[in-house]
């Protein structure tokens, strides 16, 4: 039986076609990407009953950029905890959270950094929570091609999405 993975995210998940996980993961995995551009933790909480309809073994929760833009740091932790708790209790499934790239938009970088620190604290306090550290992977990138196009400081280019997808693939496969 296939291991069912559902990506709950925002435009990063949607525009990257689920970080390429449908093709990156070996046979034996069924990846469903329900990411919606513009969605924050609040939007997913308002639509959480929709999540109950998707049989899932592992939820990949990739959110935070829109939270930073709309709410700053206000309420990020309780909303994230509520969403994680709902996903863990709605089915017999695990949740994997991720820090997100800081972006090239100066006005939200520090807010994202603070919200990412909240994600790290949540992982420390919840042993059953899986976690992928994307922020530090992006920040340590030394390639010649920038990870963001000049025209879009929020959304990574294909190289950035590839880096994210590969990090998720390795975590899911236990590499």
- Kind and range of the H or E element at 33? strand 29-33
User: How many whole angstroms from its chain centre is CA 158?
Assistant: 16
What does the pLDDT look like over 84-122, one tens digit per residue? 999 988 777 899 999 999 999 999 999 999 999 999 999
Encode 68-98: b = buried (16+ Cβ within 10 Å), e = exposed.
bbebebeebeebbebbbebbbebbebbbbbb
The pLDDT, as a whole number, for residue 52 is: 84
The pLDDT, as a whole number, for residue 166 is: 97
Using CA atoms, how far apart are residues 134 and 136, in angstroms rounded to an integer? 6
The pLDDT, as a whole number, for residue 110 is: 97
CATH code of the domain occupying 3-173: 3.40.50.1110
If pLDDT is split at 50, 70 and 90, which confidence band does 36 have?
very high
Q: Is the pLDDT of residue 127 over 90?
A: no
Q: Where are the domains of the chain?
A: 3-173
The pLDDT, as a whole number, for residue 158 is: 95
User: How many whole angstroms from its chain centre is CA 35?
Assistant: 9
């Amino acid at each position: 039986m296939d291991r069912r993975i559902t990506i709950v995210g925002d435009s990063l998940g949607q525009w990257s076609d689920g970080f390429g996980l449908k093709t990156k993961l070996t046979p034996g995995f069924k990846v469903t990407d329900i990411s919606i551009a513009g969605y924050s933790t609040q939007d997913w909480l308002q639509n959480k009953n929709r999540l109950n309809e998707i049989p899932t073994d592992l939820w990949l929760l990739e959110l935070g950029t829109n939270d930073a833009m709309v709410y700053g740091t206000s309420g990020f932790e309780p909303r994230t905890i509520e969403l994680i708790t709902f996903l863990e209790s709605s089915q017999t499934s695990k949740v994997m959270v991720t820090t997100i790239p800081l972006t090239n938009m100066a006005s939200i970088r520090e807010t994202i950094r603070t919200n990412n620190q909240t994600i790290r604290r949540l992982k420390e306090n919840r042993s059953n929570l899986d976690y992928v550290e994307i922020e530090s992977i992006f920040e340590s990138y030394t390639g010649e091609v920038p990870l963001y196009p000049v025209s879009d400081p929020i959304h990574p280019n294909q190289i950035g999405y590839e880096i994210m997808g590969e990090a998720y693939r390795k975590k899911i496969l236990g590499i």
